[in-house]
Structure 1
């Protein structure tokens, strides 16, 4: 017994584990950059829908040629995995972002993010119920520690009035986030990470464009400068940064990390995106985290480490040879 269905610390040891963690952190940093960079555009007069569409569209344009080349003419892989690519684009790319932006129309950003980032817990539950992969006690403990850390990082301990409609949209974003990690971590489709990322970004971009055309997602833009910590930059600079780093790099590295680490561990390492978002907000927007947020950041990192230890225990059990009958 040497494999785990769909979520695999299967043979994930040594340099592969270390490399996966590095790649997962690159993905989290790239995703975390989007909030602070996008904020400058939003303050300049861009709508969230327009920023998201340009971000995903540019990412698709960058990754698509590489994704096509990575197939090496094996178009049957794409045909066979068409449903997976569509699900990834609809849920993991467009769905998560659209639901999140819809949520913050009805509730504050902090509570919306808190609900969305229960996605890693949803991944653990899904892998347990769907594939019988019961988490270890360390995984449960790490999830609890990281959850407490997120509450502090997002500064929602004071309590706020929450809209039911906003909560439902935020839960939709959570489903999209969980789907992103589960689909990214699947080895069944055989698609190279570049090809899956390209297909998902194309599908997500098309869907966001359609939502804009029918009026469900407002699309407004401007050529006014974006301002970061008192410094003005041309409007196209943050758009390029979003397209290259927060879309192309983020999604490709996210898929590769999930395949190396498995969906559960990758999803918890992805929690460091919140820390990255706070750090970039400090550097670019001069929004300095408070003491509670910094303490929460330490707890998130501690939770990720504990989850990693728990996943190693699961891998050891899975990879243990079955006894040979005497």
Structure 2
């Protein structure tokens, strides 16, 4: 009986872990597919494949349309996270390696906390502010480390920072919608909204798909089915059962996974100064999540729910 009652507490972290692993692989696949597809075309192809898979599952499960109260969050997250984020990230990864992109985008969890405080009224403890400052210094260090390789690399870092902002805004917009609709509904229609937003790239996608090698197209389909359809659904499932800031914390492992995957698959390893900047980004996150004495008080001040008693 206790195992059944604890099931959500077991499944939610597992769902978050699936999202983290698949999103880490997405950075590598984007880098690979981006050699044949332009940023907008790759985003549209990925979203089209993901939307197709999600609509099939949604139809089989007969979950119906989300309630009207959930559509604001679905529309905002669809445009910002599914649409704009993917285009900008694809563009950024054409300028910097996969590991660097993951390190810079990883400031997103801190931005989630900042936006949550501004838009949702969540508190902003001093440790969070200090962590944001350290992570920003890390992002600047990464940018400086790439400056010797030309202006395009600096542009890539800037684009990845912009992607992090879109990711954070999408998560904050999605959270209220998950209180009114299911994870599958929010993900399916968010993906459809993102695909519609990317329709202006249809011509590029058709032209490039005719010339792209099969491996690049398969990478695009993989991005749609797994890091989009599956990973965004498992993310939404977990997000519906915890706070946005705590879910953001689960993505801290992404850069390390990406660096390992890009080294094994693409032969890309960030330089020493880039890694220093990445460590600063992660250190800032650690500072923001650290606890002073009296951990329960700190958790309450940070807006985290108290653990429930299980009888």
Q: What's the counterpart of residue 58 of structure 1? A: 49
C-alpha RMSD over aligned residues: 3.9
1:207-238 Cα deviation digits (max 9, x unpaired): 2123444x7x8952256546xxxxxxx45432
Partner of 2:230: 249
CA contact (8 A) 1:59 1:248 kept: yes
Q: Are residues 170 and 181 of structure 1, via their aligned partners in 2, closer, same or farther at CA, if it must alter by over 3 Å?
A: same
In 2, Cα distance between the equivalents of 1:40 and 1:269? 25
TM-score normalised by the chain length of structure 1: 0.70
2:21 equivalent to 1:33: no
Residues 68-118 of structure 1, C-alpha deviation per residue, up to 9 Å, x if partnerless? Answer: 455634x3x34332232221211111011223445678x656887666544
Match 2:208 to one of 215, 220, 223: 220
Question: Is the alpha carbon distance of 1:113 and 1:291 closer, same or farther for their aligned partners in structure 2, counting shifts above 3 Å?
Answer: closer
Which 5+ residue runs of structure 2 have no aligned equivalent? 1-5, 307-311
- After superposition, the Cα gap between the structure-2 partners of 1:167 and 1:303, relative to the gap in structure 1 and judged at 3 Å, is closer
Instruction: Report whether the alignment pairs 1:263 with 2:244.
Output: yes
Counterpart selection for 1:206 from 171, 196, 211:
196
Unaligned runs of 5+ in 1: 1-13, 227-233, 321-326
Once the 2 structures are TM-superposed, how far is the Cα of residue 182 of structure 1 from its aligned partner?
1.0
Check whether the contact 2:178–2:186 (CA below 8 A) recurs between aligned residues.
Answer: no
For the Cα contact (< 8 Å) 1:118–1:174, is it kept in 2? yes
Question: Are the structure 2 counterparts of residues 275 and 287 from structure 1 closer, same or farther at C-alpha, using a change threshold of 3 Å?
Answer: same
Question: 1:138-217 maps to which residues of 2 (within 5 A)?
Answer: 138-140=127-129, 142-143=131-132, 155-158=142-145, 160=147, 172-186=162-176, 189-213=179-203
TM-score by length of 2: 0.73
Q: 1:271 to 1:150 in 2, by over 3 A?
A: farther
CA offsets, 1:238-279, max 9 Å, x none?
233222222112211222232233112222322433333222
Is contact 2:42–2:220 with CA below 8 Å preserved after alignment? Answer: yes
Partner residue, 2:125: 136
Question: 1: distance between equivalents of 2:129 and 2:229?
Answer: 32
The Cα offsets for residues 266-298 of structure 1, whole Å up to 9 and x where unpaired, read as 223224333332222111112235556666666
The reply on whether 1:124 has 2:113 as its aligned counterpart is yes
CA distance in 1, matches of 2:11, 2:287: 18
Contact kept, 8 Å, 1:47 with 1:221, in 2: the verdict is no
Q: Please state whether the residue corresponding to 1:270 is helix, strand or coil.
A: helix
Larger proportion of helix: 2
Q: Is the 8 A contact 1:91 1:175 kept in 2?
A: no
Residues 188 and 259 of structure 1, relative CA distance in 2, 3 Å threshold: closer
The CA distance in 1 between the partners of 2:62 and 2:83, in whole Å, is 24
Aligned length in residues: 292
For the residues of structure 1 that align with 2:206 and 2:287, how far apart are their CA atoms?
42
Q: Distance in 2 between matches of 1:299 and 1:113?
A: 13
1:240 to 189, 214, 221: 221
**Which of 254, 261, 279 matches 2:260?**
279
